[in-house]
Amino acid sequence: MTDHGVADTVDDERPQGEAARPHRHADRPLTGGRIDTWRHPLTVRLTHWLNVFAMTILVMSGINILMAHPHLYWGIRSTFADPWMSFPMAPDWLMVPMRRDLGAARGWHFLFAWIFVLNGLVYLAFITISGRLQRMMEPTRADLADIPHSIVEHARLKFPKGEEARRYNVLQKLTYLLVLLVLLPMMLATGLAMSPMMNAALPELLWILGGRQSARTLHFLAASGLVGFVFVHVALVVVAGFTNNMRSMITGWFVIEPEKEDAE
Amino acid sequence: MIPERRGLILGAGAALALGGCDRVARTSGLQCSLKKAEQVSQRSQRALARDRLAPEYEEKDISSDFRANGSVDPQASDYLALKANGFRDYRLILDGLVENPLSLSMTEIRARPSRTQITKHDCVEGWSAIAKWKGARLSRILDEARVKPEARFVVFYCFDALDQTEDGDRYYESIDVPEARHEQTILAYEMNDQTLPIANGAPLRLRLERQLGYKMAKYIKRIELVESFDHIAGGKGGYWEDRGYSWYAGI
Ligand code: HEM
């Protein structure tokens, strides 16, 4: 069974029309056995780049906010003499705005938090309704069995070619799922739990997270996890073919290299 | 089913909801978006929280190291004079848009209906501390003063100037009438079963449990009911608001 996976986006659900005319998102053969395939629909591309922008502002204004009290604690209150973690002063260029200014940084942070949440909801609604979530990110049984092999391939910086390149590999799927279903919702939940008015509206959230100081520490840890993800994510985009990957996230089209020798 | 298009419409809707505040044309586009986001946050949080109470804690949760921020020992001469004889000559003035202006001594304030609560104090800087507070319920005092229908905000004028000079900008804050009438909004005169210490705002400070610490004016001198705070100091409704912090501090 060939897995058309990525190519079968929702756009393919329109009526077939005259059988002879190829679908506008059908594969396009290129020279040398390479194939141009349709990979990322417009909604995914737009929400992805808006998210990159919003998260950049959120992280940089977040650092500015952290600098107002660069200590983290666990639990329901600060134990000033005994912080769990303390930070040195961050350089100005790492912050939004580019000088320590808690009031302004909070303004930026909350504006972009709204953009991040609304944009994230649009993206999550899209991938759920269109079936992209299941089709592209849900690991198959074969995927799970392939985890050790996939780890080795990543370590050797070898990326799939041919039919396999149409699909996200299992580590990629699991990472995206972790980011989309764990880290990003965690950012929102821990962020809301730090708001005193939200504590009144939804005290359960505060209890579940273990108190405001735990929520603040978890907010920082989840953000660090996301920053770590971005470094690995961008590094893999670069080593797996920077222009091809970027082209796919900008135009939607992705080039598949032919397999050198027939694998299976 | 074309979720792609629907997603775009949703996205555009969101952009519109956050944009489009040309009525405040004198400010830049960014300032306008920031202001707009603050309003959206305030409206949605208020809609969710309505008059629910801030979480309350137990005796065992009380911080042993409650931090005093901002002014901790005001040096204004009128304050020092009152402090010299234990605030016996202190009078809280409540006036403005009320039918029955008040002037209350500490003894009279202590005789008013009170509330005791163990709550979390959330500083805008990110730390929090827990303490037990006792104070007069602001809603009852407002009832006594008979607030006029046109009054929208309650302004607190304080003794302290953060720069500790005689003519420095004195601290002030404002909250809206519904928030002032919240069950946990009190004029506190006791902290952890002791008379309110100087460092924490003696003789009287505001407790506004669903917002951040900077809203909770310490060293209250006078309370005024107003329709708008545009004409007061920098016009943004508070000492820190005039210095770039948001008026709504529930977040
Ligand atoms: C800021 C945080 C970021 C997050 C949370 C994030 C998240 C994601 C997710 C979830 C996907 C899969 C989307 C889907 O298939 O529906 C993706 C794909 C992609 N991202 Fe990001 N990303 C971030 C930053 C970046 C940056 C900075 C770059 C480039 C410099 C980048 C380049 C790409 C590319 C090229 C793809 C397509 C990969 C492929 O087709 O195999 N991302 N990203």
CATH number at residue A68: 1.20.950.20
Q: From B64, which residue of chain A is nearest by alpha-carbon distance?
A: A79
**Mean local confidence (pLDDT), B16-33:** 63
Is A89 a residue whose pLDDT tops 70? Answer: yes
B54-75: average pLDDT: 96
- A27 occurs within a structural domain: no
Q: Is the pLDDT reported for residue B235 higher than 90?
A: yes
What span, in angstroms and rounded, lies between the C-alpha atoms of A221 and A214? Answer: 10
Q: How confident is the model at residue B9 (pLDDT cuts 50, 70, 90)?
A: low
Which of A40, A45, A78 is the best mutation test for B, with the most CBs of B within 10 A?
Answer: A78
- Whether A16 has a pLDDT exceeding 90, the answer reads no
Amino acid in the structure at residue A219:
H
State yes or no: pLDDT of B24 exceeds 50.
Answer: no
For residues A186 and A6, give the distance between their C-alpha atoms in angstroms, rounded to a whole number: 28
- Contact at 8 Å (CB) between B32 and A39? no
Averaged pLDDT score across all residues of chain B: 92
Q: Is residue A3's pLDDT more than 80? A: no
- Tokens coding B50: 């309505």
Predicted pLDDT at A23: 87
Is the predicted pLDDT of residue A8 greater than 50, yes or no? Answer: no
Which pLDDT belongs to residue A264?
40
Number of the ligand 1 atom closest to the C-alpha atom of A136: 15
Percent of chain A with pLDDT over 70: 91
Using the predicted structure, report yes or no on whether residue A12 has a pLDDT greater than 50: no
Which structural domain, as residue segments, surrounds residue A203?
41-73+81-255
Question: Mean pLDDT across the stretch B83-97?
Answer: 97
pLDDT at B17: 53
Q: Is residue A179 part of a domain?
A: yes
Domain assignment of residue A247, yes or no: yes
Q: What is the mean predicted confidence (pLDDT) over A194-200?
A: 98
Domain for residue A171, yes or no? Answer: yes
Give one word for B77, left, alpha or beta, with left for phi > 0 and alpha for psi -120 to 50.
Answer: alpha
Check B211 against A197: CB less than 8 A apart. yes
- Is A8 contained in some domain? no
- Average pLDDT in the B8-33 region? 59
Task: Determine phi and psi for B170, rounding to 5 degrees.
Answer: -75, 150
Mean pLDDT of A178-183: 97
State the Cα angle at A176 between A60 and A36, rounded to 5°.
105
Q: What is the pLDDT of residues B143-166, one digit of tens each?
A: 999 999 999 999 999 999 999 988
CA atoms of B136 and B108, how far apart (whole Å): 10
Give yes or no for a contact between B151 and B99, defined as CB atoms under 8 angstroms apart.
no
Q: Number of structural domains, chain A?
A: 1
CATH 2.40.50.140 for the B53-243 domain, yes or no = no
Per-residue pLDDT band for A209 (boundaries 50, 70, 90) equals very high
Residue A57, domain member (yes or no): yes
Q: Is A9 in the pocket of ligand 1 (CB under 6 A)?
A: no
- What ipTM did this prediction achieve? 0.90
**Residue A15 belongs to some domain of the structure:** no
Across the interface, do B3 and A202 touch by the CB < 8 Å criterion? no
Residue A261 lies in a domain: no
